Structure 1
């Protein structure tokens, strides 16, 4: 098999993102970051499984971005990626924590938070942190009260109550606690529809976090929502 074929067969490490693994969930140790692949990935990356790895997968991703290894203990046992080990998955640091950036055209994070209420908005430069309180879903991810959507390079944020004027003051929008019923993409802007108005948003990308500051993958949020609604349907 030629080098291109071997590269195509390698799997991306869930910690560093480089194509270093011969397969998944076989306890293979990544030579680039030192993560032992026990099969953990985005769905439960926020969970500390124990075993050979230390802490959560999200913490290991942050360590790799900062230290070049999944954990300080293995820094002397890892190496730089080779040319035939391309980086297939990427994460970035936000406030010293690894996060995944979701494109600003993707409405799924908002729709997964159906029936949530926007209870906090804070701007830090070009970034806006949006807190969503959603009591039925948040307990599935441990202690805490809500989720935080980090809107990166946010240039447009207007709340339009039905029958009223548009509101741009973040504290006034949070005081109205807009409800999330449905989100749609409208010419490159996200429009979140609620029972009392619409919220129009324009941003480059979004990162999901718990209100504890810990990162959360979109796949984990989707899995939690699916499990909740499946349990709800079974009760009805």
Structure 2
């Protein structure tokens, strides 16, 4: 469904992505892991046109992702994104945040959208928070609102950019549980994460990035339990057994 072909991205003279080749099939959960600065979030942001890339191709179901082209707005409705810092509108309630996209982007009737938004908030465990503002919600609750907001667009795939890294440890589990339920329903997901246990349990495939390149990729069980590349071995040793 999502294909990367020789993707290169630079900021001035600094090359961040150095020829990425990978695929995400429909219904797959693919986790991007690697050290900070390896290009994971940049690659994710290139998928929905938040960043431009200078060389290569990114396609979604065969349609070229071009951040400056007219088709990018349509592609963004098909591929939603959940950010590290939630990005909720602080002056809108949880319900209003979830309803915003379908009403103003998809031009759907408010009555239909409201029913769907209420059902999605209930699905992520927030049936009692419809009228709460983001400032009155915990980090984990805000991130679950953000996931419900993405689902309200009825996307074909969801991109997650380190969705738990801004959360207190006790709130991480509630967000990962929602993501696990999406995986069980065959939602296509591309996830930048440092949660190795989540990747081990949920991911179909793992891409290990370092220095703007894919050093190792393959089925999650193979990459995470028996990595072949020395750099992957060292990274996993450090994150699973920190000093």
- Regarding TM over 0.5, the answer is no
Higher relative contact order structure (alpha carbons within 8 Å, sequence separation ≥ 6) = 2
Larger Rg: 1
> Which structure has more helix as a fraction of its residues?
2
Please, what TM-score do these two structures have when normalized by structure 1? 0.29
